[in-house]
Amino acid sequence: MIKKKSKSTRRAFLKRTAALSIAPYIVPDLVLGRGGNIAPSDRIVMGGIGIGGRGSSDLGWMLNEPDVQWVAVCDVRKSRRQVAKNMVDSKYGNKDCAVYSDMRQLLAERTDVDAVLIATGDRWHAPASIMAMRAGKDVYCEKPACHTMAQGQMVVETARRYGRIYQTGAQRLSEPPHVFAIEMARSGRLGQIHTAYADIRWRDGLRRDWLPAETELPKDELDWDAWIGPCPWRPYNSGYVNGGGWYHFYDFATDVAMWGAHTIAQALAGLDMTDVSSIEFEYAGPDKTMVTHLSNGVKLVLVRASGSVWEKCKYWHGACGERFDGPEGWVAAADGYSSTDVSSPAILRDYRKVLDEYVGRTQRRLNHVRNFFDCIRSRRPTVANPEVMYRSMNICLAADICERLKRNLKFDLRKAEFIGDPQANRMRFRVMREPWIV
């Protein structure tokens, strides 16, 4: 255990460690928490908001980081906050994890919390992130990171104004097979990329109806008003809450962003977007494989693979795939890959070298939550920072709008608005319900 001077604080420790440089795969024990070198008071203190389903997986992932201390969890569902508390208490062998049903209370009371995990339903991702950053917390937020383009812009502006670290849960940006594919495209090893592909697993529309009213549960069991949050009010029905039923309703979810929040970010990471000013969307129709054209001449194809997520498609097998085609060959990656898929075995010759060069150049390790915690200490931008989130989500949401309007659209990426289409521009926003307006 490290002995600290009497005037030292955790905040001061975080500022001191910001000066540390993380060399490829060689990180001081002080940062990693090995050998008991990090005292509890010097750990990154975490809270969680919406810790069920995907959130419980993230919680388990983060609990393994030795320089992180979990102290509080919040969920509007009593059963889920109790499960999360049990996970934390079991890890530390005590009963100390506090539970909250209202995120506003956690954010206001827990001044000791440095950062929060947000893994609510999609409708709450952006508002909760904005509230947390205003409260001085760094944020790891699950994807899709916003419900609308306007919300995404607010996340970017809030992170910048309050100087917060933000990471969205596009974890494949930190996984070796995807990183190798992205780096092969980005570095020019495949020549000038002419076509990129992203798996969007488009659904056949989102429901606009309401389920019939059921008897509402006691507020302590489920705070229904808070569960709905900024979305239009509707009566309680267990079909929304259980089994992710909300995911099929327009008021609560998005379409392309279901997968595109991952894969479009992956595709854009391998392309030179420096001088890309706009993107044109071709209405896909029943086929739902949408062709888009970047203003630099690159074609970005949003692929609707059919059948099971593990069914082989033309470009990859598995879910959440991306692919890059250039004159020197192609590379692709998706879930379940132990290595990148390539057009020629020779492309894999420098696999380890390419990954090592990426880590050295970016000072990012190939671990998404670790990248978040490293950036809390260094105050460097994360791999899935607000700008990365905003650009990829804008393309997801623009594709949704193109499909709803059933016509081609052109989108200005710099102004974040459709060109010459007032109706499409109105669809960049959704009204937020009081009192959940941010």
Helix (H, G, I), strand (E, B) or coil at 152: helix
Say if CB 303 and CB 320 are below 8 A apart.
no
For the stretch 188-225, pLDDT in tens is 999 999 999 999 877 767 999 999 999 999 999 999 99
Tell me the angle at which helices 10-17 and 368-378 cross, rounded to the nearest 10 degrees: 100
- Kindly give the pairing relationship between strand 322-326 and strand 329-333: antiparallel
For the stretch 372-413, pLDDT in tens is 999 999 999 999 999 999 999 999 999 999 999 999 999 999
Residue 385 and residue 382: Cα distance in Å, rounded? 5
Q: Is the dihedral of CA 325, 326, 328, 333 positive or negative?
A: negative
- List the strands of the sheet with 166-168, edge to edge: 98-100, 68-74, 44-49, 115-118, 138-141, 166-168
The whole-number pLDDT of residue 422 equals 98
Low-confidence ranges of the chain (pLDDT < 70): 1-37, 204, 305-312
Residue 322 and residue 270: Cα distance in Å, rounded? 10
Residue 90 corresponds to which tokens in the numbers above?
């079991």
Residue 409 and residue 257: Cα distance in Å, rounded? 18
The whole-number pLDDT of residue 8 equals 46
Q: How far apart are the first and last CA of the chain?
A: 42
DSSP label at residue 36: G
The whole-number pLDDT of residue 288 equals 75
Chain position carrying tokens 């989102």: 206
The whole-number pLDDT of residue 54 equals 87
Element (H, E) at 218: none
Residue 124 corresponds to which tokens in the numbers above?
């709450």
Could you tell me the domains of the chain?
10-172 (3.40.50.720), 173-204+255-426 (3.30.360)
Say if CB 76 and CB 100 are below 8 A apart.
no
Helix (H, G, I), strand (E, B) or coil at 293: strand
The whole-number pLDDT of residue 317 equals 86
Residues contacting 151, CB < 8 A, separation 6+: 126, 127, 130
The whole-number pLDDT of residue 39 equals 77
How buried is 154 (Cβ within 10 angstroms: 0-12 exposed, 13-18 middle, 19+ buried)?
buried
Residue 163 corresponds to which tokens in the numbers above?
């100087």
Tabulate helix, strand, coil % of the chain (nearest 5). Answer: 40, 15, 45
Following DSSP, what letter does each residue of 60-92 receive, concatenated?
HHHHT-TTEEEEEEE-SBHHHHHHHHHHHHHHH
Residue 74 corresponds to which tokens in the numbers above?
């919040």
The whole-number pLDDT of residue 7 equals 43
Residue 403 and residue 165: Cα distance in Å, rounded? 34
Residue 348 corresponds to which tokens in the numbers above?
């894999």
> Within the chain, what is the greatest distance between any pair of CA atoms?
67
